Structure 1
């Protein structure tokens, strides 16, 4: 009996030793269950209208273009934190910057090329450092060029959602997060039209003409069928964070009207996960930006 037991123990030992060892670094099951390891596709759409002009829209605390730059740095930080939290073999992530319409300055095209970055299993620490360097310096060049040029191209955000957002900002098997840096007003001469009471644009003049300057603005919007014309559909795979809402002075409900227009628009396009934030100081908005990217 002892001899049989001895043979069984020895056999079990050799069977176990004969099994191939699992490669821990390639066993992604546990990591893939965490939100930190999911592939992320971050897009930044910058409104280069005259909202960034420090002469027309000055702010003694911190100029609006400077706030934008700090928002972009926070987005970059959140993106790189996500990258650093993943195993190299898992990397399949990207980040890019867009304008609509594109500025006439050819240098802008080169800057956006440098700001389009992607990470895969061949990524090195040098790649990460390079992205950090680019996002700490190039956005300032973009805003300086636009302000110096004074040829503000407007913000055709409506057309971007209609014709570009699916191709540019949504990738399969990714969390797709779009940050829009804008004051909330949308206008471009090539995309200004209406359907019934809905429009492809929103300006201070329009808000004033619609008399949306009292606490019952929501009822007026609903009763009259006001809002943005739906630009797209089935955008469930897109998360949107709007940063920089900055209403004109004189109407205490202007910011609320702007947010109501955007919220209703997003709901119509089936965007379920969205946030709309005013032009607060970057130190106040950074935690919101980081949380939006982490998905936690």
Structure 2
């Protein structure tokens, strides 16, 4: 018997249609995401049509919040700016708004190889002390650099006198320069081999051995004017250099066969009185006794003067006078930071000051 109720049509299952639609939408979104220009690609395109440094600066600030840690974008920004052949002032302005470039240390050490190294009366064991200071500098430089990569750290040991530079010092000069500029793509630790340390220690001993054969005056004014300018490193769009200069000296500036630059001789009594009254600089300046300034800009340099040791004739006054002379001289050349330390009874005290100066 047929049912008196009408036959219902079988309901069609639409689930496959929903699945298909979902798949289509998913792939559509996926294709959109992978083909949509990224912030980096948009930034690089904007950079490509930048025609001056102001355009580049606008691109930087436009994408800075998203791309400030993007090394490829930062490199492209620096490269674009470099293509404009900027003046020194324009480059400095760009550096002021760019993220700070990787920091590298440029460590320049100038030991005083004058007669102080054979003066057993005023400076007993001076060579031994100097070698200890130099070895401390080497160890501090190694510790500063060894765990980094792709830095341009450099250490150079130099001499003040042109006759020494042209003489036998030439034989060891190359062995007292350590430059990591070309040590790229690998850890700096691989640069500092045992052979490098042996080379350094052997060369400084040889340097002092040669200097003792012909100790000359320590003409630092000449050195600053002739040599230091060429050894300083200037920060660029790609590099952030800090120049650190270590001068190892007893503090007396005496070119060979010339009066002392500090002009202490002949003014001992009034200078000693000025020490007691705290008016050393005023006395020096009012009498025109300041060390003549060298035409060099040391605003990106920090200086450590160590092993300062007044002579017995100084009667306890010369250290203050020497410190005033050196600090006044370097301040007039815009030195960023000056450290002036005396020869300590315990070498470890000097070592601690050196480590702090280099590692900070």
Q: Secondary structure at the match of 2:358?
A: helix
Give a deviation string over 1:218-262, Cα, whole Å, max 9, x none: 242344343211112422122211111111124222101100001
Q: Secondary structure at the match of 1:92?
A: coil
* Unpaired runs of at least 5, structure 2: 1-17, 37-69, 75-98
Match of 1:185 in 2: 252
Q: Secondary structure at the match of 1:140?
A: helix
1:252 to 293, 308, 316: 316
Q: In structure 1, what is the Cα distance between the partners aligned to 2:333 and 2:272? A: 24
Distance 1:114 1:233, change over 3 A: closer
Match of 2:328 in 1: 264
2:143 to 66, 81, 87: 81
Distance 1:203 1:11, change over 3 A: farther
Q: In structure 1, what is the Cα distance between the partners aligned to 2:348 and 2:29? A: 61
Displacement of 1:169: 3.0
8 Å contact from structure 1 (residues 212, 220) kept in 2: no
8 Å contact from structure 2 (residues 146, 189) kept in 1: no
Q: In structure 1, what is the Cα distance between the partners aligned to 2:198 and 2:206? A: 13
Q: In structure 2, what is the Cα distance between the partners aligned to 1:161 and 1:191? A: 17
Match of 2:8 in 1: none
2:297 to 229, 234, 246: 234
Distance 1:203 1:112, change over 3 A: farther
Structure 1 runs of 4+ off > 4 angstroms? 1-19, 26-29, 122-126
Match of 2:276 in 1: 215
Distance 1:234 1:54, change over 3 A: closer
Match of 2:12 in 1: none
TM-score, normalised on structure 2?
0.65
Give a deviation string over 1:105-127, Cα, whole Å, max 9, x none: 84321212111111133477553
Match of 2:13 in 1: none
8 Å contact from structure 2 (residues 175, 200) kept in 1: no
Q: In structure 2, what is the Cα distance between the partners aligned to 1:207 and 1:71? A: 32
Q: Secondary structure at the match of 1:113?
A: helix
Larger of the two Rg values belongs to structure: 2
Give a deviation string over 1:52-74, Cα, whole Å, max 9, x none: 11534353xxx122111111111
Question: Which aligned pairs between 1:37-76 and structure 2 lie closer than 5 A?
Answer: 38-59=103-124, 63-76=125-138
8 Å contact from structure 2 (residues 229, 296) kept in 1: no
Q: Secondary structure at the match of 1:161?
A: helix
Displacement of 1:13: 6.8
Question: Which aligned pairs between 1:101-120 and structure 2 lie closer than 5 A?
Answer: 101=161, 102-103=163-164, 106-119=167-180, 120=182
Match of 1:157 in 2: 220
Distance 1:210 1:138, change over 3 A: farther
8 Å contact from structure 2 (residues 147, 189) kept in 1: no
Give a deviation string over 1:198-217, Cα, whole Å, max 9, x none: xx712653552654354124
TM-score, normalised on structure 1?
0.78
Paired residues, number: 274
**Given the alignment of the two structures, is residue 128 of structure 1 paired with residue 192 of structure 2, yes or no?**
yes
Question: Which aligned pairs between 1:86-105 and structure 2 lie closer than 5 A?
Answer: 86-87=148-149, 90-101=150-161, 102-103=163-164
Give a deviation string over 1:252-294, Cα, whole Å, max 9, x none: 2210110000111111111121211111233112222222222
Q: In structure 2, what is the Cα distance between the partners aligned to 1:177 and 1:104? A: 21
Match of 1:195 in 2: none
Q: Secondary structure at the match of 1:164?
A: helix
